[in-house]
Structures are given as structure tokens and as C-alpha cells.
Amino acid sequence: MTGHVGEHPYRGFTPRAGIYSITCQRTGKTYVGCTDHLVGAMNGHRFKLANGMHPNRVMQADYDAYGDTAFDYSIHDEIAAEEYADTSIADLDALRDLWVDQLGLDEGRTY
């Protein structure tokens, strides 16, 4: 990602930026991420998990043990289109931290 999330729209397409989570229902563990492209990020996680190449080895092990149906993918917050170009990566990181707190996730419940 670059300094601002709205810098490179492609042919009129502006990706949705925001906060998302991936939760394993069997373990209760959750990954909370921030991105400048919500759909792309979640699809990337799904692809890596399905192909056994996710960088988070604990999440990968849970996926291998319980399968795709044990995982929920959720969008928690989305940056409004009019705010998109002025949103920095630091803003997304801060928003992600707020969601980790709001979801009540401690270290034992996160990936």
C-alpha cells in the first residue's frame, strides 16, 4: 500500500477501503485487517488459505484442520467514497486498532 488509499483507481473503479475480519468459528480466533481494497484482501486470504500458503501459520493450521466452512469473513467498517482519497494508511491502522478493542480481542483470541 502507498501513503494514501485512493491514489490508483483503475479505469473508473475505486476499491473499497476499510476494516475486515476473518474468524475461525471452531477456535474463536480472529484476524482483523485493514486494507485499501477490501474485496481483494479477503479474496487473497481465501486463496492463500485454500492453497496452503497463508503466511499466518496458525490460521493456516486451523484452516487445514477445520476447512473453509469454519471461517467467517466480515467487513466491519468501510471508508466513505468522499473520504477515500484523503485517508492515509495510518488512519486505517488506527481504525483497525479501534476495531480490535471494540471486538474485545485479546492476544489469545487473535491470529
**Which architecture characterizes domain 18-106 according to CATH?**
3-Layer(aba) Sandwich (3.40)
Q: Which of 9-13, 71-75, 87-91 has the highest mean pLDDT?
A: 71-75
pLDDT over 60 at 6, yes or no = no
Which tops the pLDDT comparison, 21 or 17?
21
The edge-to-edge listing of strands for the beta sheet with 18-24 is: 30-35, 18-24, 71-78
Q: What mean pLDDT comes out for the span 22-30?
A: 97
pLDDT at 8: 53
Domain boundaries, the chain: 18-106
pLDDT digits (tens, 9 = 90+) for 40-86: 999 999 999 999 999 999 999 999 999 999 999 999 999 877 777 77
